[in-house]
Structure formats: C-alpha cells, structure tokens
C-alpha cells in the first residue's frame, strides 16, 4: 500500500493512500471519522437518501488497510458512527463484520462529537489516548504537540494537467497530524478554511489520498 512517510515528535508514521495512518513501531493503524450508519441516520432525520452500501464500503476498505499493514492495534479517532442510534441500528451483518475485524486485535474507539456514548460493539472506549510520544483525540487542541486527530474531514485541491482535483487529505506539520475522514460519503472541509489554516503551521503539508498520494504545501 502506497503512502507518505514522515516523523512526528520522533515517531515514524506513514500516511497511507487509503486515508489511514500507520505507526509501524507500535503495529498500529489509525482511522478517523468512519461515520458508520450515515445513510440510515439521514433517512431517520428526513434527509436525502445516500446509497445504502456506504457502511459496507467503509468496512471493506478498512479490512484492506488492515490486511496490507497487518496491524494488531486499531485506533478509531471518533465519529466512528454517525450517532449512537446509528451504532445500535447497524444491520447484523455489518455488526458481525466489525466483530471479525476486531478478532485478535486491540481495538480502541476514541470519543467523537457524533458518538459520545459507550459503544456496545467490543473494543475499548476512551475519551482520548496517550501513547508517548503521541496522543490521539478527536478534535485538535492548539497547545499540543505530537497530536493525532480528525474531526475536520480535511481535503485539498490542486491543479493537474489543466484541471482541478480535490481529494481528502492529511494535514501535517511539526506539531500534529489531522486525518482525513475514512468513511464513505463523509464530505470534507477545504484546507484553506480558517478552522484548519489557524491550526496548522505555515510549513504544513497536505497529503492527498488516492492510489498515488500527492504531497504539496498545504493550500491556504
């Protein structure tokens, strides 16, 4: 699986083209904002329907990332479910698939703003997690270093061959990494939005996801 290797607070990490973050030294794979059950929640709230296979597609891509990395620890950085009801209402087939992915692995659900309650699907539920020299939480804090977070669903846009291309993207500087949303149909926030531009140093880069990840200065 292709990716961009970099160092944060002395830890060697790989931003994978899938949108997952790999920490080889700790046999750890981190993903953010799966938003499982999004299509069901949209229908429940009277919104426009999404293709009903979005949860299955997200889990299939996660399974592929786990297969390629062989990671024994999985950290889900919050908003793993679109809300608590979405977690409860997942079809049994999808719950069983999550159970199969958890088998033989340490699985950590970090609390998000969409899914603040306990998750009854196995694994460990934490507000945030410290694994020195890094810390894992859902929403970045300005005064932290060595921080891995998600929440914003960052994306970046570049011009290639006379056309504009926008993709989900990692944002990386000397203090933190903000992961793209891993879930299918999760949308994104442009990297030049003040919420992101204000968090990241001027030296920050964006790693656009895809079969061939592209590394560029973070568009502002």
pLDDT by residue, tens only, the chain of 220 residues: 689 999 999 999 999 999 999 999 999 999 999 988 765 555 555 555 556 678 888 999 999 999 999 999 999 999 988 666 667 778 888 889 999 999 999 999 999 887 766 667 889 999 999 999 999 999 999 999 999 999 999 999 987 666 788 899 999 999 999 999 999 878 899 999 999 999 999 999 999 999 989 999 999 8
Burial (Cβ within 10 Å: 0-12, 13-18, ≥19) of residue 22: buried
CATH of domain 3-217: 3.60.21
Q: What residue ranges do the domains of the chain occupy? A: 3-217
Give the span between the Cα atoms of 168 and 170, in whole angstroms.
Answer: 7
């Amino acid at each position: 699986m292709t990716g961009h290797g970099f160092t944060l607070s002395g830890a060697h990490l790989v931003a994978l083209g899938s949108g997952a973050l790999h920490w080889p030294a700790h046999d750890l794979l981190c993903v953010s904002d799966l938003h499982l059950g999004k299509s069901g929640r949209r229908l429940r709230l009277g919104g426009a329907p999404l293709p009903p296979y979005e949860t299955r597609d997200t889990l299939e891509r996660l399974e592929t990332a786990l297969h390629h990395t062989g990671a024994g620890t999985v950290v889900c950085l919050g908003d793993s479910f679109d809300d608590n009801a979405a977690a409860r209402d997942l079809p049994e087939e999808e719950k069983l698939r999550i159970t199969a992915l958890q088998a033989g692995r340490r699985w950590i659900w970090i609390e998000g703003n969409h899914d603040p309650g306990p998750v009854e699907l196995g694994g460990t539920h934490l507000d945030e997690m410290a694994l020195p020299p890094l810390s894992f939480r859902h929403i970045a804090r300005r005064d932290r270093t060595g921080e891995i977070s998600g929440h914003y669903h960052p994306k970046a846009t570049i011009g290639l061959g006379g056309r504009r291309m926008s993709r989900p993207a990692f944002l990386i500087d000397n203090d933190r990494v903000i992961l793209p949303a891993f879930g299918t149909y999760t949308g994104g926030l442009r990297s030049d939005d003040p919420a992101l531009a204000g968090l990241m140093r001027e030296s920050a880069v964006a790693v656009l996801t895809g079969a061939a990840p592209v590394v560029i200065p973070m568009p502002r």
